[in-house]
């Protein structure tokens, strides 16, 4: 069932070359992506599309993000091997698996029960196990495990949730796509208890980060 063949690996290498051509420069991110079998995160119906640089439908009306977007957000996180990272929007688990492959301790929150259950079973099977997947509301973050070295939001946020800013370490990074459609990729670095330095990186498209629907 969970097969990763030389043919998959070949297509994956081609995809990684394309990401580099599109401007991803962090070699650790590119190298780690070479080892993540993206086709296994998708419905087998779409397997042939797994190594195109495109987002694709997963369960519960959600999507697995475009590989360029995953690489771009991960690059902005500047992951170090011991980092404690919170992800909002587990979805297929692809982004989560990449962070695990980079050596981080990952906590990831998903509000769709179906996806939470599916991904919770799947990730250990491919040997990329996060610290913990949580079924819950990402707007609240994860106060019990805070503070984090970084927080990544993989759904379009209508605004920057205050709780997430408060759960960053000093020097910590929040990468979040903000706005309706499209979203503006935004990086906030916590430079002091109450100070955040903000940088923006252009337009991206995500499924919405939903509120009050648990
Ligand atoms: N990181 C995922 C991308 C999934 S799309 C991947 O690599 O596949 C975004 C995900 O965010 C969806 O699964 C959606 O259900 C989830 N989501 C939306 N609003 C949320 C919220 N308030 N809290 C947690 N997850 C949320």
pLDDT at 47: 81
Determine whether the shortest distance from the Cβ of 115 to ligand 1 is under 6 A.
yes
Which of the residues are catalytic?
A: 65
76 near 173, Cβ under 8 Å?
Answer: yes
Residue 1 has pLDDT above 70, yes or no: no
Ligand 1 pocket test: pick from 56, 64, 85, 89 the residue with the most ligand atoms within 8 Å of its Cβ.
89
Q: Where are the domains of the chain?
A: 54-204
Q: Which atom in ligand 1 lies closest to the alpha carbon of residue 112?
A: 15
pLDDT (tens digit per residue) in 27-49? 999 999 999 999 999 988 788 88
Other CB atoms within 10 Å distance of the CB of residue 131: 13
pTM above 0.95, yes or no: yes
- Count of CB atoms situated within 10 Å of the CB of 64: 23
pLDDT band, very low/low/confident/very high, at 214 (cuts 50, 70, 90): very low
- Angstrom distance (rounded) from CA 142 to CA 61: 25
Ligand 1 in contact with 42 (CB < 6 A)?
no
CATH of 54-204, one of 3.40.50.720, 1.10.1060.10, 3.40.50.150, 3.30.70.260: 3.40.50.150
Q: 37: Cβ below 6 Å to ligand 1? A: no
Per-residue pLDDT of 123-151, as tens digits, reads 999 999 999 999 999 999 999 999 999 99
């Amino acid at each position: 069932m969970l097969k990763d063949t030389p043919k998959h690996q070949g297509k994956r290498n081609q995809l990684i070359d394309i990401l580099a051509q599109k401007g991803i420069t962090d070699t650790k991110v590119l190298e780690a992506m070479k080892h993540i079998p993206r086709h296994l995160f998708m419905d087998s119906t779409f397997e042939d599309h797994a190594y195109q640089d495109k987002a694709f439908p997963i369960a519960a009306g959600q999507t697995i993000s475009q590989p360029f977007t995953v690489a771009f957000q991960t690059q902005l996180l500047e992951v170090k091997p011991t980092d404690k990272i919170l992800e909002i929007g587990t979805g297929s688990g692809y982004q989560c698996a990449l962070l695990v492959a980079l050596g981080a301790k990952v906590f990831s929150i998903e509000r769709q029960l179906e996806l939470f259950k599916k991904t919770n079973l799947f990730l250990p099977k491919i040997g990329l196990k996060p610290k913990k997947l949580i079924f819950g509301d990402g707007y609240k973050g994860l106060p019990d495990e805070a503070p984090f070295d970084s927080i990544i939001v993989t759904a379009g946020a209508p605004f920057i949730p205050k709780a997430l800013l408060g759960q960053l370490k000093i020097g910590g990074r929040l990468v979040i796509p903000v706005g309706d459609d499209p979203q503006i990729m935004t990086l906030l670095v916590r430079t002091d208890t109450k100070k955040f330095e903000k940088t923006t990186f252009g337009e991206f498209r995500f499924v919405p980060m939903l509120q009050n629907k648990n």
